[in-house]
């Protein structure tokens, strides 16, 4: 282009710069960036955002800091937007100190965060920070009168679950407000999970009744949280009552539900009674998992559930049903297939 006398405009330079950055050639990308800054060209905010994203993906956070510093000296019009992009880059990369220092710099310049960014910061602390840091970020969000959204609720809840802080999880959920309806059953289900994971059965039942009284309808996750606790505690009566309740509410069982039944009976060496246990369930349905993954973080996956997922993955050409999965699982456990003779 140069030899033909075509001028290199900011569009061509930007494309070349991004190509270098996306391939980890930071010296070349930086050279073009410096050329753009030292020219009469005005950097485009979209290009700058893409460049910061590329640097972040490659863990080149020094380059992001340098860009912010250079743009701040130029009093760039879109600087608040670029700060937000940099915060996201630092947060996704787990660079919490850089994120915090950037926040302080934004505050000193009088730039405010929007609700999306404030929620994102809570999420980054939930993933990469300590519980204390996460809770401090949540307190800062509340002081700004910003509502924590579903993704933030999930991130904080998973952090509590991974640290086995179920009491703290319950306190957090109550602070958010169990009456919130814009997140569906999420808050109530997580509260039930905080009791089920510690097998506090009376509290589990009490809060379940409160959930129903508050006008929330149990979903598959609600029922499976209780079913997992009943199964692990070998509470067969409660498990069967819960299955009847599911049927009444027209909630279709999933692989987790079937696993609760199968595991409960086999753990107590009651395999010959599985016919009775599964008689009212549609064993000819196609297997599916509809339960919120948060449940598995707290209570793990049962043996039938885990084995079935392996069957489904490694023999994907099969047309699986729950009946076929159970038969295959029983073969693995060296039990007689005649348990299913009456199906």
End-to-end distance of the chain based on CA atoms, in angstroms? 76
Measured CA to CA, the distance from residue 307 to residue 33 in angstroms comes to: 53
% of the chain with per-residue pLDDT over 90: 71
> By CB neighbour count within 10 A (0-12 exposed, 13-18 middle, 19+ buried), where does 279 fall?
exposed
Residue 122 token pair: 């809570």
Mean pLDDT in residue range 103-114? 90
The dihedrals phi and psi of 317, each to the nearest 5 degrees, come to -75, -15
CB distance 52 to 89 below 8 Å: yes
Model pLDDT, residue 36: 84
Q: Which of 144, 110, 138 is nearest to 124 (CA)?
A: 138
- Which of 3-7, 35-39, 147-151, 210-214 comes out lowest in average pLDDT? 3-7
Which tens digits make up the pLDDT trace of 8-67?
777 888 888 999 999 989 899 999 888 888 887 767 889 899 999 999 999 999 999 998
CB distance 207 to 191 below 8 Å: yes
Question: 245 pLDDT exceeds 50?
Answer: yes
Q: Which of 265, 319, 255 is nearest to 287 (CA)?
A: 255
Classified as helix, coil or strand, 103 is helix
Measured CA to CA, the distance from residue 232 to residue 299 in angstroms comes to: 10
Model pLDDT, residue 341: 44
pLDDT mean across residues, the chain: 91
CB distance 261 to 280 below 8 Å: no
Mean pLDDT in residue range 141-162? 96
Which tens digits make up the pLDDT trace of 66-88?
989 888 887 677 888 999 999 99
Model pLDDT, residue 89: 95
Model pLDDT, residue 133: 96
Mean pLDDT in residue range 242-257? 95
Q: Which of 232, 233, 212 is nearest to 222 (CA)?
A: 212
Residue 47 C-alpha from the chain's centroid: 29
Which tens digits make up the pLDDT trace of 286-327?
999 999 999 999 999 999 999 999 998 887 777 899 999 999
Mean pLDDT in residue range 105-132? 93
334: left (phi over 0), alpha (psi -120 to 50) or beta: left
Classified as helix, coil or strand, 26 is helix
pLDDT band at 104 (very low <50, low <70, confident <90, very high): very high
Mean pLDDT in residue range 124-146? 96
Q: For 23-29, which contacts have Cβ atoms below 8 Å and span 24 or more sequence positions?
A: 24/58, 26/55, 26/58, 26/60, 26/63, 29/54, 29/63
215: left (phi over 0), alpha (psi -120 to 50) or beta: left
Model pLDDT, residue 128: 97
Cβ contacts of 320 within 8 Å, gap of 6 or more: 286, 287, 311, 312
Question: 337 pLDDT exceeds 90?
Answer: no
Residue 253 C-alpha from the chain's centroid: 23
CB distance 178 to 186 below 8 Å: no
Model pLDDT, residue 339: 52
Cβ contacts of 215 within 8 Å, gap of 6 or more: none
CB distance 126 to 158 below 8 Å: yes
Question: 336 pLDDT exceeds 70?
Answer: no
Residue 140 token pair: 């800062």
Question: 342 pLDDT exceeds 50?
Answer: no
The dihedrals phi and psi of 166, each to the nearest 5 degrees, come to -75, -30
Cα-based torsion angle of the residue sequence 197, 251, 271, 241 in order, rounded to the nearest 10 degrees = 70
The dihedrals phi and psi of 268, each to the nearest 5 degrees, come to -100, 15
Model pLDDT, residue 1: 67
Question: 141 pLDDT exceeds 70?
Answer: yes
Question: 252 pLDDT exceeds 90?
Answer: yes
Q: Which letter does DSSP use for residue 1 in this model?
A: -
Tell the residue number behind the tokens 């019009």, with chain if given: 77
Question: 338 pLDDT exceeds 70?
Answer: no
pLDDT band at 178 (very low <50, low <70, confident <90, very high): very high
Mean pLDDT in residue range 95-119? 92
Q: Which of 285, 305, 338 is nearest to 231 (CA)?
A: 305
């Amino acid at each position: 282009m140069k030899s033909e006398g075509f001028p290199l405009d900011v569009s061509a330079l930007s494309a070349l710069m991004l190509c270098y950055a996306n391939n980890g050639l930071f010296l070349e990308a930086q050279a073009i960036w410096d050329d753009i800054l030292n020219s009469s060209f005005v950097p485009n905010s979209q290009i700058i955002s893409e460049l910061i994203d590329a640097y972040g993906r490659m863990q080149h956070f020094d380059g992001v800091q340098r860009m912010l510093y250079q743009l701040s000296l130029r009093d760039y019009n879109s600087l608040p937007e670029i700060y937000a992009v940099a915060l996201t880059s630092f947060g996704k990369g787990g660079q919490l100190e850089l994120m915090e220092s950037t926040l302080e710099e934004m505050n000193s310049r009088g730039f405010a965060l929007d609700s999306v960014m404030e929620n994102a910061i809570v999420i980054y602390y939930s993933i990469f920070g300590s519980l204390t840091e996460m809770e401090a970020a949540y307190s800062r969000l509340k002081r700004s009168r910003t509502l924590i959204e579903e993704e933030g609720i999930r991130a904080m809840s998973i952090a509590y679950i991974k640290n086995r802080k179920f009491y703290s999880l319950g306190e957090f959920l109550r602070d958010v407000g169990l009456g919130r309806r814009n997140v569906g059953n999420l808050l109530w289900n997580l509260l039930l999970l905080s009791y089920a994971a510690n097998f506090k059965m009376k509290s589990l039942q009490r809060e379940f009744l409160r959930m129903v009284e508050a006008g929330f309808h149990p979903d598959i996750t609600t029922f499976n949280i209780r079913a997992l606790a009943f199964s692990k505690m070998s509470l067969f009566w409660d498990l069967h009552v819960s299955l009847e309740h599911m049927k009444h509410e027209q909630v279709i069982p999933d692989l987790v539900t079937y696993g609760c039944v199968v595991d409960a009976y086999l753990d107590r060496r009651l395999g010959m009674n599985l016919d009775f246990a599964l008689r009212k369930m549609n064993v000819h349905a196609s297997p599916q998992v509809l339960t919120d993954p948060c449940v598995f973080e707290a209570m793990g996956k049962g043996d039938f559930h885990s084995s079935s997922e392996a069957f489904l993955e490694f023999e994907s050409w099969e047309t699986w049903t729950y009946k076929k999965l159970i038969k295959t699982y029983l073969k693995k456990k060296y039990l007689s297939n005649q348990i299913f003779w009456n199906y």
